[in-house]
Amino acid sequence: MAIDTARSVHVTPKSKFVRHTKIPTLIFETSSELAKHVANIVADLIRSKIKEDVPAILGLPTGSTPLGVYRELIRMHREEQLDFSNVVTFNLDEYWPMDPDSIHSYHTFMRENFFDHVNVKPENIHIPRGDIAADDVDTFCEEYERTIEKFGGLDLQLLGIGRSGHIGFNEPGSARNSLTRLVNLDPVTRRDAASGFFGEDNVPHHAITMGVGSILSAKKIIIMALGEHKAPVVKRAAEQEVTDEVSASFLQTHTQSQFVVDHAAAAELTAVKTPWIVGNIEWTPLLEKKAVIWLSLQVGKPLLKLETEDFLHHHLHQLIQKYESISQIRQRVFDSLLDGISTRPAGTDRKKVIVFSPHPDDDVISMGGTLITLADQGHEVYIAYMTSGNIAVFDHDALRHIDFVHEFHKLFHPDDQGFLQHLEDLKESIESKHAGDLDTQEMLGIKGLIRKTEATAGAEVAGVSEEFLRFLDLPFYRTGQVSKKPIGEEDIEIVADLLREVGPDQIYVAGDLSDPHGTHRVCAEAIINAVNVVANEGISPEFWMYRGAWEEYEPHEIERAVPLSPEVVLKKREAIFKHESQKDSAFYPGSDKREFWVRAEDRTRNTAKVYNQLGLPEYFAIEAFKQYHGEI
Ligand code: F6R
């Protein structure tokens, strides 16, 4: 399964090789296939070096991207006796200053996610140290470079890519020949690291990183990217000019470099986004719909006004050849969009509906208008909150709630000295908390309660009363940290029990699965598994997906469009406002710092605008859904 050189074309059944990029790119349908592919390449290298009786020298990244590769290599070590005793490793980077024993250090990350589970010899492991005194950093960095050279250079460098375009921590402005050194972290990088540090303020401002030049000295380089948030930077690095604004673009100058990306991270590549521009393609009904919608928006004409000339001048002559006349395809795309518009998303008879909300606010943020519409039209609507969302509550919010309970008790139960003292202690524990300290179980419980009461208030505004709410608190989430456990039988059984209890006609599930380690993906996996379990028991609801809080489906993907009136949009905003702990600045805002209600309104207004541009009726706002057909 492995490739001989990083540049050769290696196509597994579920991967696609893209030739139109300046860095050869292999696209995988899923992150687990990608991880297996890369792990196979590493394993082949290790085995071939064992045969030659020389060490295999690996350059390794941290971050969420390589986790699947490490997991697969650990599996190979356990089940296939893959031997790491000849492996020498050099990690790309480490925060500075950083105690190697801190839970935030890359030393800890590598131990927990890889080294503790394989037999790399401790003396063969090299990771920049974050506890070097400022005066000694330069000498340390020179020594790091010399040690790599002493081993004859890196045989294979694995990389992730940051949204700032960095490889290692080579932020914009890094020179092509830069070597290991102390650097400042870009604000984008610090924001992306915020969740692991329990807030952006706790993220260090500096790091020690191998340079672009150190990375380019490797014999082979594999750069990985997962998730739609990486799509724009993947395009810049792989397709556009080489520039120090995007360090990863320097890989274009290395003859043995290759991008391996999942479907979501590939989304902006020309060969994926507008494949008709780059050559012959196999047309599918979905791709035809995508192309015709793209053409309509490109030339600024509604669908039914498109002319043969428009197709000819925009690389779509292949479609004309296929259909002889354009009226057929034009009409088909128009009809499919029109048929998808529904002001009665659950029909006219009273239906049982479950809206699954991964976090306590995804329901109202992502499909609040439809929720309001369903409740208003008399359907029996349940909302299942899958996780407590407790890790996204700020300490100061917890403090305010405890303060309220404290004052309440002082006023109404002044004799309950034991409890009053306990509340004092809780307040004190928050005030004396150090940046990055983990919460106690009790504090996580309090934070979970805050989110539960907010969700209840939000649902009430949407027209769903408390008796129809289910707080599933799935076990996979209960780590108290950003990293979660994989889903287990217990999670699936909890969801299956709910499906048995309600026997829904329709379910709505968050389907934004591009973040391979995200909570939404794990929740969707639990639901899909549970749906399969209960299907044998005669429960088979219509399965609709909505996108999460961040993005919307592209117009060609939308199978149901629910128009929202201005009143419904306003009510939805009110429901979102009930999530006070997520207002102003959310704990995990992601790349978009606007408040959730602003994003939600922009997104639904924008979909309505696009529909109108395509020549469909004019609506105030639209929420979009896609049906689950066995894959997401
Ligand atoms: C990590 C590193 C970084 C990450 C990049 C992507 O050692 O050097 O360049 O690879 O920030 O991070 P994730 O994979 O978390 O998206």
CA of 132 to the centre of ligand 1 (A): 22
E strand residue ranges, 163-249 = 181-184, 206-209, 220-225
Mutation test residue for ligand 1: of 31, 65, 69, 108, the one with most atoms within 8 Å of CB: 65
Give a yes or no: residue 4 inside a domain.
Answer: no
Give the count of domains, the chain.
3
CA distance 88 to 97: 25
- Tell whether 9 is covered by a domain: no
Instruction: Give the C-alpha distances (Å, rounded to integers) separating 453 from 321, 385, 466, 572.
Output: 59, 12, 10, 17
Share of the chain above pLDDT 70, in %: 94
* Residues 268 and 331 occupy one common structural domain: no
Distance CA 281, CA 619 (A): 35
Say if residue 473 is in the same domain as residue 371: yes
Position in ligand 1 atom list of the atom nearest CA 159:
10
Residue 584, pLDDT above cutoff 70: no
CB distance 215 to ligand 1 below 6 Å:
no
Per residue in 85-130, pLDDT tens? 999 999 999 999 999 999 899 999 999 999 999 999 999 999 999 9
Nearest CA to ligand 1 atom 8: 168
Same domain? 260 vs 296: no
Helix (H, G, I), strand (E, B) or coil at 244: coil
Which of 209, 221, 213 minimizes the C-alpha distance to 45? Answer: 221
Q: Which atom of ligand 1 is nearest to the CA of 189?
A: 11
Q: Please report the pLDDT score of residue 20 as a whole number.
A: 83
**What would the pLDDT profile of 128-138 be if each residue is shown by its tens digit?**
999 999 999 99
Contact 76, 118 (CB under 8 A): no
User: Is 466 part of any domain?
Assistant: yes
Same domain for 220 and 302?
no
Instruction: Give the model confidence (pLDDT) of 287-319 as tens digits.
Output: 999 999 999 999 999 999 999 999 999 999 999
Q: Ligand 1 pocket, 514 CB below 6 A?
A: no
438 Cα–ligand 1 center, Å: 23
Are the CB atoms for 280 and 315 separated by under 8 Å?
no
Helical segments of 354-488, H only? 362-376, 395-412, 417-431, 441-462
Q: Is the pLDDT assigned to residue 333 strictly greater than 90? A: yes
Q: What was the pLDDT predicted at 513?
A: 63
Query: Going by C-beta distance under 8 Å and a sequence separation of 6 or more, which residues neighbour residue 127?
Result: 90, 91, 94, 100, 106, 107, 110
pLDDT over threshold 60, residue 56: yes
Write out the H or E segment, with its range, that includes residue 619: none
Whether 63 lines ligand 1, by a CB cut-off of 6 Å, is yes
Are 313 and 225 members of one domain? no
pLDDT of residue 163: 93
Domain extent, residue 319, equals 274-340
**Over the stretch 206-259, which tens digit does the pLDDT of each residue have?**
999 999 999 999 999 999 999 888 999 999 999 999 999 999 999 999 999 999
* pLDDT tens digit sequence for 523-574: 999 999 999 999 999 999 999 999 976 678 999 999 999 999 999 999 999 9
Residue 162 to residue 246: CA distance in whole angstroms = 10
What is the position in ligand 1's atom list of the atom closest to the CA of 230? 16
Same domain for 363 and 325? Answer: no
Is residue 59 within 6 Å of ligand 1 at its C-beta? no
DSSP of 453-501, one letter per residue? HHHHHHHHHHT--GGGEEE---GGGTTSSSS-PPP-HHHHHHHHHHHHH
Longest dimension (CA), the chain: 87
pLDDT, residue 356, reads 98
Q: Which of 494, 520, 528, 536 has its CA nearest to residue 590? A: 520
> How high is the pLDDT of residue 3?
32
Choose one of 340, 365, 380: the last residue of a domain. 340
**Predicted pLDDT of residue 234:** 98
Cβ–Cβ < 8 Å for 115, 91: no
- Residue 626 pairs with which residues in a beta bridge? 545
Average pLDDT score over residue span 265-272: 95
Whether residue 142 has pLDDT greater than 90: yes
**H or E element in which residue 143 lies:** helix 137-150
Q: How far is the CA of 7 from the centre of ligand 1 (A)?
A: 22
| One domain, residues 180 and 252 | yes
Instruction: Mark whether 264 and 278 lie in a shared domain.
Output: no
Helix spans in 181-301 (H): 187-193, 212-216, 231-239, 270-273, 285-299
Q: What are the tens digits of pLDDT across the range 451-461? A: 999 999 999 99
| Cis peptide bond upstream of 100, omega within 30 | no
Q: Is 2 exposed, middle or buried (0-12, 13-18, 19+ CB in 10 A)?
A: middle
> How many angstroms separate the CA atoms of 306 and 334, rounded?
11
Condensed to tens digits (0 to 9), the pLDDT of residues 446-501 reads 999 999 999 999 999 999 999 999 999 999 988 777 667 778 899 999 999 999 99
Judge whether residue 52 has pLDDT over 50.
yes
pLDDT of residue 516: 54
User: Is residue 211 assigned to a domain?
Assistant: yes
Q: Residues 154, 160, 163, 168: what is their CA dihedral angle, to the nearest 10 degrees?
A: -30
154 ligand 1 Cβ < 6 A: no
Residue 4 scores a pLDDT above 90: no
Q: Is the CB of 604 under 6 A from ligand 1?
A: no
Predicted confidence band at 610 (pLDDT cuts at 50, 70, 90)?
A: very high
Measured CA to CA, the distance from residue 491 to residue 494 in angstroms comes to 5
Give yes or no: residues 327 and 432 share one domain: no
pLDDT score of 589 more than 80:
no
Give residue 201 CA to ligand 1 midpoint distance, Å.
19
Q: Is the CB of 65 under 6 A from ligand 1?
A: yes
CATH code of the domain covering residue 389: 3.40.50.10320
| Residue 347 pLDDT greater than 50, yes or no | yes
Contact 178, 213 (CB under 8 A): yes
pLDDT, residue 593, reads 73
Please, are residues 465 and 381 in contact by the beta-carbon 8 Å criterion?
Answer: no
Say if residue 422 is in the same domain as residue 325: no
How many other C-beta atoms are found inside a 10 Å radius of the C-beta of residue 255? 9
Residues with active-site annotation = 171
Q: How confident is the model at residue 195 (pLDDT cuts 50, 70, 90)?
A: confident
Cα–Cα distance between 173 and 184 in angstroms, integer? Answer: 11
91 Cα nearest atom in ligand 1: 7
- Which of 38, 62, 247 should be mutated for ligand 1, with most atoms under 8 A from CB? 62
Give the model confidence (pLDDT) of 317-326 as tens digits.
Answer: 999 988 878 9
Give the model confidence (pLDDT) of 503-527 as tens digits. 999 999 998 766 555 788 889 999 9
Polymer length of the chain: 632
> Would the CB of 145 count as within 6 Å of ligand 1?
no
**346 within some domain:** no
Q: Where does 536-627 have alpha helices with state H?
A: 566-577, 596-613
Domain identity same for 366 and 380: yes
Domain boundary among 272, 303, 322: 272
Work out the mean pLDDT of the chain and round it to a whole number: 93
Ligand 1 centre and the CA of 197: distance in Å? 15
Give the C-alpha separation, 57 to 321, whole Å: 53
For residue 228, give the CATH number of its domain. 3.40.50.1360
CA distance 153 to 214: 9
Q: Is the pLDDT of residue 12 over 60?
A: no
Regarding whether 613 and 478 lie in a shared domain, the answer is yes
3 within some domain: no
Which domain-ending residue is among 229, 249, 272? 272
Asked whether residue 425 is assigned to any structural domain, the reply reads yes
Give the residue whose CA is nearest to atom 9 of ligand 1: 168
Cβ contact 447:390 at 8 Å: yes
Compute the distance between CA of residue 626 and CA of residue 632 in angstroms, rounded to an integer. 9
Per-residue pLDDT tens for 383-397? 999 999 998 899 999
Spatial distance between the Cα atoms of 115 and 202, rounded to a whole number of angstroms: 26
